[in-house]
Amino acid sequence: MASESSVPPCCAASRPASEPRPVALSAPPARGDRPLKGMILLEGGVFRMGNEDELANPFDGEGPVREVKVAPFRIDPTTVTNAQFARFVKETGYVTEAERFGWSYVFHLRLPPEVAANTPAPDGTPWWRAVEGACWRAPEGPGSDVRRSQKHPVVHVSWNDAAAYAAWAGKRLPTETEWEFAARGGLDQAVYPWGDELFPRGQRRCNIWQGQGVFPDHHDGVPGPVAADSYRPNAYGLYNTVGNVWEWCDGWFDEARDRRSMRGGSFLCDDSYCNRYRVAARTANTPDSSSGNTGFRCAADA
């Protein structure tokens, strides 16, 4: 597949192309109340987008660094939470693609070892397990729930699910340009939303892989999402752009137009494997794929 040569495997895994597709759902109606409450209004302007230094992944299209003009827009301070997504499902009856396919990808260390050992893993990304029944309301499959993680990012949502939520909320997904402008928080060409040091004065500022060992097997605890408003926000007030969960954006990754862009990296990012928790980094997945480390935040016109 051409897309595999253009992007080395990241932590994302796609639904097998051979799997029969469920019938597409019609879009739920917009909810029609005050959708912009709580959003951050950014005035836009010209900024230097992308990265081409030694940290850049040459096949990802991070570079070249270019000056880009951004019109004013609004963006959510956090990714959409389980509580917010639950309201959407309650009001519309929406059924996510993970539920309609009947499974989604769960990181192996989030499962009991005997379950992980007996659940199929995709080629190329052996740390994922295709777990039957895993979905946004049961992130580790049957028996799991989100009762104690209402403020955590909703996960196991596809790009199509994210776009449906955004339309219902009277919003939209951010473009990659908007996402990067917002995530940079006004810093010119910094590596992270807070500067160039990963741990300024020893402080942990984002939820990425934690462990003395290396991805994907040695972690200090159980790798997973934290509350969407964890850690300090950047200078524009955005939380967890880098780390926690990948965020779907409104655009195609490249001219092949088969995969949607994702930004920001996730709790699985670790230098031992992949440095895509930088603010300029990109990756992608097919629009009906879902996993336990991908969510989204919404944007809107100013």
Minimum CB distance to Ca ion smaller for 99 or for 247:
247
- Comparing CB distances to Ca ion, the nearer of 141 and 243 is 243
Q: Which stretch binds Ca ion (CB under 5 A): 161-169, 177-185, 222-230, 238-246?
A: 238-246
Instruction: Fill in the amino acid letter for 162.
Output: A
Shorter beta-carbon distance to Ca ion: residue 160 or 240: 240
Q: Taking CB under 5 A as the rule, does residue 289 contact Ca ion?
A: no
Task: Say which amino acid occupies 26.
Answer: S
Task: Give 130 or 269: the residue with its C-beta nearer to Ca ion.
Answer: 269
- Minimum CB–partner distance for residue 94 and Ca ion (Å): 23
Identify how many contiguous H helices and E strands the chain contains and give both numbers. Answer: 6, 11
Residue 192 CB, nearest approach to Ca ion (Å)? 12
**Least distance from Ca ion to the Cβ atom of residue 10, Å:** 14
Query: How many chain residues are in contact with Ca ion, going by CB under 5 A?
Result: 3
Cβ distance to Ca ion smaller for residue 108 or 263: 263
Kindly give, in sequence order, each residue whose CB lies less than 8 Å from that of residue 191, ignoring residues fewer than 6 positions away. Answer: 51, 55, 198, 278, 279, 280
Q: Of residues 58-77, which lie at the interface with Ca ion (CB under 5 A)?
A: none
Residue 260 burial class via C-beta count within 10 angstroms: exposed 0-12, middle 13-18, buried 19 and up: buried
The stretch near Ca ion (CB under 5 A) out of 17-25, 68-76, 80-88, 240-248 is: 240-248
* Residues 6+ away with beta carbon under 8 Å from 260: 159, 248, 249, 251, 252, 253, 284, 285, 286, 287
**Spatial distance between the Cα atoms of 138 and 230, rounded to a whole number of angstroms:** 22
Residue 244 in the binding site for Ca ion (CB under 5 A): yes
Radius of gyration of the chain (CA): 18
* Binding segment toward Ca ion, per CB under 5 A, in 19-27, 110-118, 162-170, 260-268: 260-268
Please tell me whether residue 287 binds Ca ion under the rule CB under 5 A: no
State the nearest-atom distance from the C-beta of 33 to Ca ion, in Å.
27
Selected range binding Ca ion among 27-35, 46-54, 104-112, 264-272, rule: CB under 5 A: 264-272
Cα distances from 237 to residues 17, 26, 77, 211, 233, in angstroms, run 39, 34, 6, 28, 5
- Nearest alpha carbon to residue 227 among 211, 236, 239: 239
Which residue's CB is nearer to Ca ion, number 144 or number 244? 244
Whichever of 78 and 286 has its CB closer to Ca ion, that residue is: 78
| Cα–Cα nearest to 253, from 2, 69, 1, 3 | 3
Q: How many CB atoms lie within 10 A of CB 39?
A: 18
Which of 216, 224, 264, 287 binds Ca ion (CB under 5 A)? It is: 264
Which span (111-119, 200-208, 224-232, 234-242) binds Ca ion, by CB under 5 A?
234-242
- With the CA atoms of 246, 251, 254 and 260 taken in that order, what torsion angle do they form, in degrees rounded to the nearest 10? 40
Chain contacts with Ca ion (rule: CB under 5 A): 240, 244, 264
